[in-house]
């Protein structure tokens, strides 16, 4: 596609519920990133994929967070047993190579945990 | 710890004014310094970027000034327009685990008054 597509745009989850957020990167982009952006803050790194390999998951805040990209294109970020502190915008970005400097971001998924 | 410090948190200027946003970093391994612009409900978009061997870069009305010895850099917006009203993030990137990992500042919300 022309840009990075994320769905859903908005998600309201009850505390304790599991959620799955989807990212469809630009076609052919091998590198994919997930960032978490709290209200009024800058994006914080969560994890990085090169094709289907998750090469860096150092930013995942707890073992409730899990990301996958099984076929090297679409990626899913899953959050189990959501907590209120998980409320944030989750941004996905892609680039054609991991050594590229400029990321193309999607519009994000706003997650609200009530 | 916050690796990229950004100020001010918010800024209001009149149309035609020159807003200046400042950033500082500590990690000398950073080798690329992009600025991102984010409109409400959208993901950050790459605006302009500079490498540390250059002291200034200009693209249209946007200029980055870079002071390597002081580990500081700033964004100037010449002849600012209401359409420039957005949140601006400075960032710094370094090669980490074989890919360019981007670390963001906390953002500056700019409002340009007509």
Kindly report, residue by residue over A63-90, the tens digit of the pLDDT. Answer: 999 999 999 999 999 999 999 999 999 9
Low-confidence ranges of chain A (pLDDT < 70): 1
State residue A36's pLDDT score.
Answer: 98
Rama region for B16: left / alpha / beta (φ>0; ψ in -120 to 50; rest): left
State residue B96's pLDDT score.
Answer: 83
Residues of B in contact with A35 (CB under 8 A): 104
Quickly list DSSP for chain A: --S-EEE-SEEEE-TT--EEEEEE--TT--EEEEEEE-TTS--EEEEEEETTEEEE-TT--STTEEEE-TTSS-EEEEESS--GGG-EEEEEEEESSTT-S--EE---EEEEE-
Whether residue B49 is predicted with pLDDT greater than 60 in this model: the reply is yes
How far apart, in whole angstroms, are the C-alpha atoms of residue A46 and residue A92? Answer: 10
State residue A1's pLDDT score.
Answer: 54
State residue B104's pLDDT score.
Answer: 96
**Among A35, A101, A104, beta carbon nearest to B93:** A101
Q: What is the mean pLDDT of residues B68-97?
A: 95
pLDDT band at B61 (very low <50, low <70, confident <90, very high): very high
Q: What percent of chain B has pLDDT over 90?
A: 91
How far apart, in whole angstroms, are the C-alpha atoms of residue A1 and residue A62? Answer: 32
Q: What is the mean pLDDT of residues B54-76?
A: 96
State residue B1's pLDDT score.
Answer: 59
Least confident of A58-62, B42-46, B99-103: B99-103
State residue B86's pLDDT score.
Answer: 98
Write the CB contacts of A53 (distance below 8 Å, at least 6 apart in sequence): none
Mutate to test the interface with A, among B45, B59, B86, B100 (most CBs of A within 10 A): B100
Residues of A in contact with B107 (CB under 8 A): 40-42
State residue B81's pLDDT score.
Answer: 98
- Please check whether residue A106 is in contact with residue A6, taking contact to mean a CB–CB distance below 8 angstroms: yes
Residues of A in contact with B97 (CB under 8 A): 48, 55-56
Q: What percent of chain A has pLDDT over 70?
A: 98
């Amino acid at each position: 596609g022309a840009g990075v597509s994320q769905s859903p745009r908005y998600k309201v989850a009850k505390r304790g519920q599991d959620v799955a957020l989807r990212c469809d990167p630009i076609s052919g982009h091998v590198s994919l990133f997930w960032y978490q952006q709290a209200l009024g803050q800058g994006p914080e790194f969560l994890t990085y994929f090169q094709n289907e390999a998750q090469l860096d998951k150092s930013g995942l805040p707890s073992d409730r967070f899990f990301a996958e990209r099984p076929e090297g294109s679409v990626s899913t970020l899953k959050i189990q047993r959501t907590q209120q502190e998980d409320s944030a915008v989750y941004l996905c970005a892609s680039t054609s190579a991991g050594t590229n400097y400029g990321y193309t971001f999607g519009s994000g998924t706003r997650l609200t945990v009530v | 710890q916050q690796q990229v410090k950004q100020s001010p948190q918010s800024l209001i200027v009149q149309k035609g004014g020159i807003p200046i946003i400042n950033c500082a970093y500590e990690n000398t391994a950073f080798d690329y310094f992009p600025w991102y612009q984010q409109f409400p409900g959208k993901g950050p978009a790459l605006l302009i970027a500079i490498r540390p061997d250059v002291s200034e870069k200009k693209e249209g009305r946007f200029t980055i000034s870079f002071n390597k010895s002081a580990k500081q850099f700033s964004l100037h917006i010449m002849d600012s327009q209401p359409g420039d009203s957005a949140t601006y993030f400075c960032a710094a990137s370094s090669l980490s685990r074989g890919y360019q990992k981007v670390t963001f500042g906390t953002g500056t919300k700019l409002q340009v008054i007509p």
